[in-house]
Amino acid sequence: MNRVVISGIGVVSPVGSSLDEFWTALVEGRSGIGPLTLIPTERLSTRIAAQVGGFDPDAHFSPKQAHLLDRFAQFAVVAARAAVRDAQCEISEELALDAATVVGNGSGGQGTVDAGYLKLYGQNAEKAHPLSIPRWMVNAAASQVSIDLGLRGPTWTVATACASATHAIGQAFHMVRNGQAPIALAGGTEACLTVGTVKAWEALRALSTDTCRPFSRNRSGLVIGEGAAMFLLEPRDRALARGARVYAEVLGFGMSADASDITAADADGGARAMRAALRDARANPEDVDYVNAHGTGTILNDRTESEALRKVFGSHADRLAVSSSKAVLGHSMGAAGALELAAAALALQTQTIPPTANFEEPDPACDIDCVPNVARSARVRMAMSNSFAFGGLNAVIALGRA
């Protein structure tokens, strides 16, 4: 069994697409939530989002490639290239032949879907655009990453809503650990800010109209975000041999299903996924110093997750730092787990715990230390990243110091 490390990280985020900008905003608690300008908002109650501002496809792609890739696939390719660059990893022909590509995504090319249906139903167009399917298919991001980087090993997409990226990275981690792939590019991507998608979220009564305040008693719901993060996972021995800079070691991955409600999370399900990750890491709850929470800023998530943390960590929860990055990044659905794992990895590397931004008022029902508003220098031996998806599908990754 290989020990597996993260040696490259690439992000496309609402607070910048360099790791430096991304991490600085998280540590300073500077929110990427702002006016929703990507789409017309006349028919929406929601006027805010955490959108990736100033993303120019022409800066990254040939006109032909830009035309063929929906925004969600563009994000994934840009993040994947950045991860490889960051790792300074030469991917030889031989390595590429077996390299794995695993990309989490919630809803495919929603921009393409929305524009297509507007024409078809709204404007009575006779035909759909011929590139509709290659642009919107949920596996397009994984395929385009594999095409762009020439990675020809096991490649697939994981779609478990808001846990997609965490499931994707977890499965890639296991493949590299077991020697089924010599390296893996894994992460998640999402670009679902369309009128149709926002309307659908509004109908669920889950969206905030002001901002996202996880674990704060005056929370008002979640804010939709977008972006991507990709990681280069490789065996620790290989990374050390080539003198790579290593962010963190991936120690464990756990999954579970609530098997209860399609939307409301269940504390037992979340707790079982955290325990499974600890078991996979051969670690004890007391070894963990930081948890990057799912922390959506909805009352159901925040309270259930707090309860789940108590179940797993018991009295150690009093010494555990827990923060949500969603006040800064919004909720980027299928990309969330990847962006948040980047935060957890950087917390380990820098021994700094990013805060829960926008925190205003303690919620007695959230009995955790959510690191309100101000980052903290602290000893971080192990960090965990939680993703609890609609549909009751939970995924947790445990990281250790490099």
Give me the active site residues, please: 162, 294, 331
Least distance in angstroms from the C-beta of 137 to another protein? 12
Closer residue to another protein in complex, CB, 92/123: 123
* 63 lies in the site for another protein, by CB under 8 A: yes
End-to-end CA distance of the chain: 17
DSSP codes joined into one string, 322-341: EE-SHHHH-B-GGGHHHHHH
The dihedral over CA atoms of 167, 206, 47, 113, expressed in degrees to the nearest 10, equals 50
* 131 belongs to the binding site for another protein (CB under 8 A): yes
Region of 100-108, 129-137, 228-236, 341-349 interacting with another protein (CB under 8 A): 129-137
Q: How far is the CB of 105 from another protein (least distance, A)?
A: 22
The answer to whether 129 contacts another protein (rule: CB under 8 A) is yes
> How big is the site for another protein, counted in residues (CB under 8 A)?
9
The CA angle 103-104-109, to the nearest 5 degrees, is 95
If one asks whether residue 130 binds another protein (CB under 8 A), the answer comes out as: yes
The interface with another protein within residues 236-265 (CB under 8 A) comprises: none
- Binding flag, residue 127, another protein (CB under 8 A): yes
Task: Please answer whether residues 31 and 22 qualify as being in contact, where contact means their C-beta atoms are separated by less than 8 angstroms.
Answer: no
65/220 with CB nearer another protein = 65
Whole-angstrom Cα distance, residue 288 to residue 140?
Answer: 36
* Helices and strands, counts by H and E, the chain: 14, 14
CB of 321 to another protein, least distance (A): 50
Residue 154 near another protein by CB under 8 A: no
Residue-level length of the chain = 402
Distance CA 16, CA 342 (A): 13
From 63-71, 157-165, 255-263, 273-281, give the range in contact with another protein by CB under 8 A.
63-71
Q: Is 271 exposed, middle or buried (0-12, 13-18, 19+ CB in 10 A)?
A: buried
Closest CA to 161 of 389, 400, 396: 389
Q: Given the rule CB under 8 A, which of 125-133, 161-169, 182-190, 381-389 is the region that contacts another protein? A: 125-133
Among 38, 68, 195, 374, binds another protein (CB under 8 A): 68
Q: Is 205 in the site for another protein (CB under 8 A)?
A: no
Residues 184/146, Cβ–Cβ less than 8 Å: no
Q: Which of 34, 57, 134, 154 binds another protein (CB under 8 A)?
A: 134
Q: According to CB under 8 A, which one of 42, 54, 59, 64 is a site residue for another protein? A: 64
Which residues on adjacent β-strands are paired with residue 331?
224
**Residues at the contact surface with another protein, assessed by CB under 8 A:** 63-64, 68, 126-127, 129-131, 134
